[in-house]
Structure 1
Amino acid sequence: MTDSPVPPLRELLAGLPSNWGKWGDNDEVGSLNYLDATQVLAGVGSVRQGKVFTLQTPVGHPHGDPVWPGRRGMERYMVVDEASWLNDDQETPPGGMHWADDMISGYLQGTTQFDALGHVWYDGQIYNGKPAVSTVGGLRFASVAPIAKRGVVGRAVIVDVARHRGRPYLERGETFGLVDVLEAAEAQGVEIRPRDILVVRTGWLESWYNTEAADFYRDFREPGLTFSTELVEWFHRMEIPCLVTDTMGNETTIDPKSGVQLPLHNALMRNLGVAFCEACDLSELAADCDADGQREFLFAAAPLHIREAAGSPVNPVVVK
């Protein structure tokens, strides 16, 4: 990392493209507008085998659940189970039916999730130029609810950077850029078309399950994409609607060149309206794609419809 002072985001991202106002001043779903009927049908057209994969990381894994530092994983509690009916004071419903009920507690971004477009910002403005004070007490603009209402469906492709580098997973802080993604795609026979949903595998979350938590979080720096003007301009030119990865941040934690934390969140999500789907389990999907060579598929997902939320759990579905 450079020893130069860390630049403010307004300086780092100056002159880069923005989609503010492209779909109207009140648009709250950004580049997901690119996923029109043509893109949905393109996704359907990529289904050739009928194989189905779900991408959510499990909640309540015995090893614990990987989450961004400072958050905790979701915790599940039983409220009603068979023990509830052992109490003689409990009135049995007519016919004798028993049931179980449970609840969860935790961060809405405590598992595989979609970010709301209003999740991050700088200079007092969130996506589409709305004031950041609109987030106080809940996101009254660009929350996750509009994404949940419309859904995310289209043709998607997977680029497996870890396999391209010949390893099961990338190391802590290991980075790659646009050239690396395009080279991996070419080597794997992946055609990235305009308006494709881009799925990128690093293997990072897979490493969680055989790593002690203290070691996993020590000097926490995820592997991932690094910021460059070329990358941002490519996303803009290709009209990429959604970025999906198996890391919690969808980019390396600290950009190695500028020292800025998560600059792509702002360049892509805040400025271009690219939806971020994070912490996906890509292990089975990637292995199957490696086995049969089909790396395009239908991607369908909808976060929970939670009013004014900054993010939401999701279990994306892929059909090959």
Structure 2
Amino acid sequence: MHELLKDAPTNWGRWGPDDEVGALNFLTDDEVMRGIRSVRSGRVFTLQRMIGDPKGDPVWPGRAPAVRTQILDESSWDEGAGGPAFPGGLHYADDKIDAFLQGSTQYDALGHVWYDGQIWNGYDARTTVGGLDKASIGPIAERGVVGRGILIDIARWRGKEALDPAETFTHEDLVACAEDQGTPIEKHDVLVVRTNYLKHFFDQGERFYDDFCEPGLVYSPELVRWFHEMEIPNLATDTIANEITYDPNGAALPLHCALMRNLGVALTEICDLEELAADCAQDRQFTFMYAAAPLKVAKAAGTPVNPMAIK
């Protein structure tokens, strides 16, 4: 990774030595208002995939899907079951989940991935030991993310129901797709990219993980410079890792390093974009107010989120 990215641009120090939210600093008050101005009808689309889907939860290989456990329900008050007794006879349901914090639609903390012993903004990677003391999800969760989002429907643009395993696209494809949709990408846009690749998970079940290699953006120096020049604050996709899993040069997830670790671009993964995409295809409005707030979990490397697109 060091050799691959040795000449790559960086935003380290751009917002001071203590920054932990990176390119989200581009989403100023004026950018929030630009997002609000893209709202025309008030229609709201939530982009989180359901946790505990009966058809299964797509997760990164090696992570287990969330397990929801019912703690209390009406059977807790059957004879001898020992349900708590409240004055007035109140009964209630209670449950919990055991889950990877990045096992559903989620934001990565900027300190989630690194190389050469340094995370975002030059913090020592040892600050991750036992939990992230620097560049955790906390600062992103505290500020929230609001701006103009733009759907870039790569699957529909290529005339496919869903992209194929290991299928790649570039920043030039993002630009061309957006222009063909009638709405060019602008500086500081939140990029919301649809591949519909997770359709294969729901069609195939566990066979989905055989020779696992997701489609996605593919690394090039030109792509990284484009993200840098366009000052993109946030990349959201409907895949598990937002980029092709194994880059053709042999590195795994180089854009996590080039975009998130070096430029501070926030990554949002495993989004459900199908209702939004169908609506955009119908009314030809591909921009919206994007709003998201990951859960506030201390020292976490990422947490679940239910982003909203408001048209």
Number of residue pairs the alignment of both structures matches: 310
Which residues of 2 match residues 51-70 of structure 1 at below 5 A?
A: 51-70=43-62
* Structure 2 residue aligned with 1:14: 6
Root-mean-square deviation over aligned CA pairs: 0.9
Instruction: Tell me the equivalent position of 1:300.
Output: 291
What is the 5 A alignment of 1:241-320? 241-256=233-248, 258-320=249-311
Q: Deviations over 1:213-253 (max 9, x none)?
A: 2x210000000000011111111101000000000110000
**How many percent of aligned residue pairs carry the same amino acid?**
57
Tell me how far apart the structure 2 counterparts of residues 67 and 145 of structure 1 sit (CA, whole Å): 22
Asked if structure 2 preserves the Cα contact closer than 8 Å seen for 1:206 and 1:283, the reply is: no
* TM-score, scaled to structure 1: 0.95
Identify the match of residue 93 of structure 1 among 86, 90, 103.
86
Q: TM-score, normalised by structure 2?
A: 0.98
User: What stretches of structure 1 of length at least 5 have no aligned partner?
Assistant: 1-8
Q: Deviations over 1:80-101 (max 9, x none)?
A: 1111111444442111111111
What does 1:18-37 correspond to in 2, within 5 Å?
Answer: 18-37=10-29
Give distance in 2, aligned partners of 1:91 and 1:240: 52
Letter in 2 for 1:266: C
Match of 2:196 in 1: 203
CA distance in 2, matches of 1:260, 1:172: 17
Match of 1:77 in 2: 69
Compute the displacement of 1:190 (Å): 2.1
**Given that residues 158 and 190 in structure 1 are in contact (C-alpha distance below 8 angstroms), is that contact kept between their aligned partners in structure 2?**
no
Residues 58-91 of structure 1, C-alpha deviations (whole Å, 9 max, x = no match)? 1111111000000011110011111111144444
Q: Does structure 1 conserve the Cα–Cα contact (< 8 Å) formed by 2:48 and 2:306? A: yes
How far apart, CA to CA, are the structure 2 residues paired with 1:140 and 1:108? 17
Question: Could you tell which deviates more after superposition, 56-65 or 81-90?
Answer: 81-90
Give runs of ≥4 in structure 1 deviating > 4 Å.
none
User: Does the CA-based 8 Å contact 1:201-1:246 persist in structure 2?
Assistant: yes
Q: How does 1:110-259 map to 2 (within 5 A)?
A: 110-213=103-206, 215-256=207-248, 258-259=249-250
Paired amino acid for 1:318: A
Give the partner amino acid of 1:202. Answer: T
Q: What are the Cα deviations for residues 230-289 of structure 1, in whole angstroms up to 9, with x where unaligned?
A: 111111101000000000110000111x11100000000000000000000001100110
- Conserved? CA contact 1:202–1:247, under 8 Å: yes
1:16-49 CA distance string (max 9 Å, x none): 1100001010100000000010110011100001
Determine the C-alpha separation between the residues in 1 that align with 2:94 and 2:283.
Answer: 41
The residue type paired with residue 240 of structure 2 is M
| 8 A contact 1:205–1:281 mirrored in 2 | no
Moved more, 303-312 or 83-92: 83-92
AA at the equivalent of 1:122: Y
Cα distance between partner residues in 1 of 2:182 and 2:3: 37
Give, in whole Å, the separation in 2 of the partners of 1:13 and 1:101: 49
Q: Distance in 1 between matches of 2:24 and 2:153?
A: 23
